[in-house]
Amino acid sequence: MDPLPTKRPRHSLNGTDTDDDSQRTPMPPTKALATAARRLAPTANGGVAASFTIHPLGRFRGPCPSYKEPAELASFSYDATHSVRFDDSEMANLSQGFESQIRRDPHHVDHLDGMLEALVHLAKTTRTPVPRADFVTYRGMMTKIFCTPFARRDKWEMNATRYKGTIYIEDNVTAERIADRINVPEPHQRMMYWGYRFEQLVTTPSLSSSNQAAHRHAAATGSTEHDDPLPAAASTNSTGGSGAQEDPVEAVVVDTNREYCSVFKTQLGRHRIIMAAEIDCVEGPKPSCLPNRRYVEIKTNKVLATEKDVRVFERQVLARRRIWAQSFLAGIPKVVIGYRDERGYLQSIQEMYTRDLPRMVRGKPAMWEANVCMNFAEQLLAWLAQVISTDDPCTMYRISFDDPFTEIRVEQLPSTTGGDGCRAGFLLEKYLATLRE
């Protein structure tokens, strides 16, 4: 991680920033954590809850915690039935027409099932214990945490449980969010599909090696991140106009059940983390050692026609689009961005390197800071490790960031007894059985 020089904040006894920017010094991590953290305390309804304050951001400035390069533990694919397969069959998504696409069931909730099955498979095939970690989660959850200091109006909720010293965190998919998935407006569906189409153009050899791609429909603002992968969108042709020439990739139907995922271990500060992330593509054959160095993140964006467009894009590289956090967390070194016009025609393609993105915005006003994101995440994980204390997979906690967007709250939920089939909480029973062996 490239260190980001910034002014260091001085804190008063109550943890607030002083007005003198020139003499600021960072609060020691232990004092900053104590200032931000409130331990579990009784609530009016008889439960217990705690909160972790977001502001002032000054206490997260200063030297970054260490973050180890992710080392892949396993990989798996979701096939057309959204079943887990331990192969590379879904290394790249291919896309096709809007009307013929196969959509994933919006009511389906994955929990952490795929990555937990992969860890069980790894343990059985290597005849070794499941790797130990302090946290197990999907990259999407860590991305939300990383971006929280600067995405101040993006509310989120997560579920957490602790077992054998490890905290597991998943997305909390509510009925409201499922309804939003079902009722995506058609224009937004179309833009989401353009992202899948662009992936197809840059990963299909017969197209990506040709300049034809520059004249095709492509692109979009949609994300293919695991925690909310709902695509949709527009048909294409090979001329970018009214020509009737058949597109060689039209035979492939967009199937949003298909994903290729990497399970990897890493470390943020002193916190050992196992994460899983959807991978857009690999550059060349997948190497057996450090394959993440060949992975590529694929994104789309509207053409940057004005200085305002550039400023908005630079801010949203972290906050809305989350390009830097997604790529950095998974150790993906390269991002390929397709720039399209308002009609969805691809205008240009740009390669960017993850390590350069913080430097791109350094020193500019009202921009995100990578070191704040990392320090905030490291301290929040330390706090979560304190308040999520009951070591029982049937004990659930809710982690939430909501209006007025000044603090993160943790609430212990009523105990569960395996209401989702035979499972306890949201952890797979066969995963729990493997841990007990």
Model confidence over 131-140: pLDDT tens digits? 999 999 999 9
Q: Is 48 exposed, middle or buried (0-12, 13-18, 19+ CB in 10 A)?
A: middle
Evaluate whether residue 9 is within a structural domain: no
Distance of CA 139 to the CA centre of its chain: 4
In a domain, 311, yes or no: yes
Q: Please identify which residue in the block is written with the tokens 């959850």.
A: 141
Range of the domain at 300: 71-147+172-370
Q: Is residue 40 in a domain?
A: no
Between 282 and 181, name the one with better pLDDT: 282
Residues 19, 23: Cα–Cα separation, whole Å = 9
Average pLDDT over residues 187-197: 79
Question: Which two structure tokens, joined as six digits, stand for 29?
Answer: 């991590």
As a dihedral over the C-alpha atoms of residue 379, residue 383, residue 384, residue 387, rounded to 10 degrees, the angle is 180
Q: In total, how many domains does the chain have?
A: 1
In a domain, 216, yes or no: yes
Would residue 120 count as lying in a domain? yes
Give pTM, 2 decimals. Answer: 0.73
pLDDT single digits (tens) 272-304: 999 999 999 999 899 999 999 999 999 988 899
Instruction: Please indicate, yes or no, if residue 202 is contained in any of the structural domains.
Output: yes
Q: Is residue 272 part of a domain?
A: yes
Determine, yes or no, domain membership for 154: no
Residue 432 has pLDDT above 50, yes or no: yes
Q: pLDDT for 205-254, tens place per residue?
A: 654 444 333 333 333 323 333 333 322 222 222 333 334 444 455 555 66
Do you find a cis peptide bond into 231, omega within 30 degrees of 0? no
Of 113, 73, 107, 74, the C-alpha closest to 427 is 113
| Half-sphere exposure of residue 111: CA atoms within 13 angstroms, side-chain side | 15
CA 404, 408, 413, 418 torsion-angle sign = positive
Going across the sheet that includes 271-278, the strands are 37-42, 48-53, 407-412, 392-401, 156-163, 166-171, 135-138, 271-278, 259-268, 71-78, 84-85
